[in-house]
Chain A
Amino acid sequence: MYKISLRTGLVGSAALAASVTGTAAHAQQTPAGTSVNNQASVTYEVGGTPTSVSSNVASFVVDKKVNLAVAEVGGAPTQTAIGATDQVTTFTVTNLTNSVQDFRLDPDQQLVSIPLLGIDNFNMNSLKAYVDSNGNGTYDAGVDTATYIDELAPDATVTVFLVGNVPNTPGAEVAIVSLNAIVATGGTGGALGADLVASSTLVADSPTTVETVFADDTGLLDQLRNGQQRAFDAYRISTAVVTLLKSATVISDPVNFLLNPHPIPGAVVEYCMKVSNAGPGSASNVAVTDAVPANSTFVPGSIAVGTSGILGACILLGTSEDDNDTGSDETDLYGGSFDGTTVRAKLPSVASGTSMSVSFRVTVN
């Protein structure tokens, strides 16, 4: 026994230099089962006679260092639609073990919500994992049929697809899925080996047998050194069902003023166009256009855009728009303009399950 001293630190830095320069060598991990033998020799003179002796051979067998990496490809959810079939999310699995391994593939539905992917609110139907058999990075139905990775060489990477069908569920928007890869015994082509089991740490190492040491890292929903790795992706339904409802309300007339007004010449009529989004996706950049009806005159400065009102009011919270299509009123929350014949309004986003409205007024000729 000895204490760590400055010298150990220096030796440590020498080792660091070796490992830095050895990054290329990292790609060639010593295969499990390799016998590493060391033999020294000593030469000396006794009474003027040179002599040479060899030592015994100190050896050990390289154990199996089990590691793997699973990564999602693309970095964004797969955009899909209600009822779509054979929808694909893509992953890669890399064998970082110093021997050939099989990998069992476990496609999982997730209930967790991952901020980058969205809030999970539905499950895919018949979700399966398939290996990219021809290495083209694209799922080919009927071609990519293997459900496990067979005989993956050390440091080799293979693409794996999760393939599933989107259910026809109202309100469904995001399904978060994950691929869990489990290291399995290799060596027999054409068949999935049993899951690897780490050699017990309670049993002393044998220098002559290959023990299994799990060296994989921890991850989200993945434990440290369990011979498994998991990566996440999502399906996002991007369609939105948008409907437009137009209504007219007489505001005042020249005879009755505001009390029970009638649409007589000179009356002010407010048109309200309600844009509703039934989802599941969010509708963006919705443009509403409406020609001012014949026999009526647009009331300047009467355009308003905002969230739909209740109890007969067209707009609850909105912004007033001037008639031109420039200026800061176009880039506040909403935009609106009148070009002499047509009223136009811009709604940057209508969330699923909500509605927005556009109103303007005319006088009856």
Chain B
Amino acid sequence: MRHSLLLAGLLAAVPAVANTVDIHASVLAEKRGAAADGTTRVSLVPAARVTPGDKVVYRLNYRNNGKQPVTGLVIANPVPTAMRYAGPAEGSAAPELSVDGKTFGPLAALKVRDGATSRPAVAADVRVVRWRLARPVAGGAGGQVAFRAVLN
């Protein structure tokens, strides 16, 4: 009896802990339009009519739903198979990049192993993007990061 009570308590506790930070992914498309001052304005709209060669923006919103600050927050996003990484989105911090899911760094520091030799990585080689937040996220706070990708 006590055992089962304890178990029930654990089961209830696990989702409560897991939901302290929520992350929501969305996929958006850039829409260009003329602004009143003659410049081009780019707005983000839900991705529509995505065909090969089109660029989309993946936006990741995170929020700390708890009362305590969370530390060491790391957001990792494997680039979908059919997509090529094409840089950070406007307003987002630049992510760390990886071509193998293990070594992360700026693009210039990455190498792709090609048999016995290796070559410098290009944006199309990126398979995982990652953001490490240096500061703790206070309770109730959140933010967003985003990156661009092109459909092959």
Contact = CB atoms under 8 A, between A and B. Distances in A.
Contacts of A49: 17
A328 interface: no
Interface string B33-59: 001000111110011111111011010
B103 interface: no
Contacts of B141: none
A18 B43 CA distance: 23
B123 A46 contact: no
B56 to A, nearest CB: 8
A contact face: mostly helix, strand, loop, or mixed: mixed
A38 B75 CA distance: 13
Contact of B17 (A25, A43, A51, A207): A51
A215 interface: yes
B84 A18 contact: yes
Given A1-B43, A14-B123, A29-B152, A42 B51 contact: no
A15 B71 contact: no
Tier of interface size on chain A: 35 or more
Contacts of A205: 46-50
Interface stretch (A62-70, A161-169, A189-197): A62-70
B150 to A, nearest CB: 6
A44 B152 contact: no
A125 interface: no
Contacts of A15: 55, 86-87, 123, 148, 150
B93 interface: no
B82 A18 contact: no
Interface residues of B, number: 62
Contact of B68 (A47, A54, A63, A215): A47
A19 interface: yes
A37 B79 CA distance: 9
Nearest to A46: B70
B150 A44 contact: no
A44 B50 contact: no
A295 interface: no
B114 to A, nearest CB: 13
B124 interface: yes
Contacts, number: 182
Interface in A115-135: none
Nearest to B17: A51
B contact face: mostly helix, strand, loop, or mixed: strand
B23 A17 contact: no
A58 B58 contact: yes
B23 A55 contact: yes
Interface stretch (A2-10, A144-152, A311-319, A330-338): A2-10
A51 B52 CA distance: 37
A21 interface: yes
B100 interface: no
A211 to B, nearest CB: 6
Given A4-B40, A45-B71, A46-B66, A38 B25 contact: yes
A62 B124 contact: no
Contacts of B53: 19, 65
Nearest to A18: B123
Most A Cβ at <10 Å: residue of B48, B83, B85, B148: B48
B91 interface: yes
Nearest to B14: A51
B123 A57 contact: no
Contacts of A87: none
A53 B73 CA distance: 11
Interface in B70-107: 70-78, 80-91
A3 B41 contact: yes
B73 A44 contact: yes
9 tightest A-B CB contacts, nearest first: A205-B48, A65-B51, A18-B123, A40-B77, A29-B52, A58-B25, A14-B87, A15-B86, A55-B23
Interface of A: 1-5, 7-8, 10-11, 14-15, 17-19, 21-22, 25-26, 28-30, 32, 34, 36-47, 49-51, 53-60, 62-65, 98, 199, 204-205, 207, 211, 213, 215
23 contacts: A2-B42, A3-B35, A4-B42, A7-B90, A11-B87, A11-B148, A15-B86, A21-B122, A26-B152, A29-B52, A29-B152, A38-B27, A38-B83, A42-B73, A42-B75, A45-B72, A46-B21, A53-B21, A58-B25, A58-B27, A60-B50, A65-B51, A98-B51
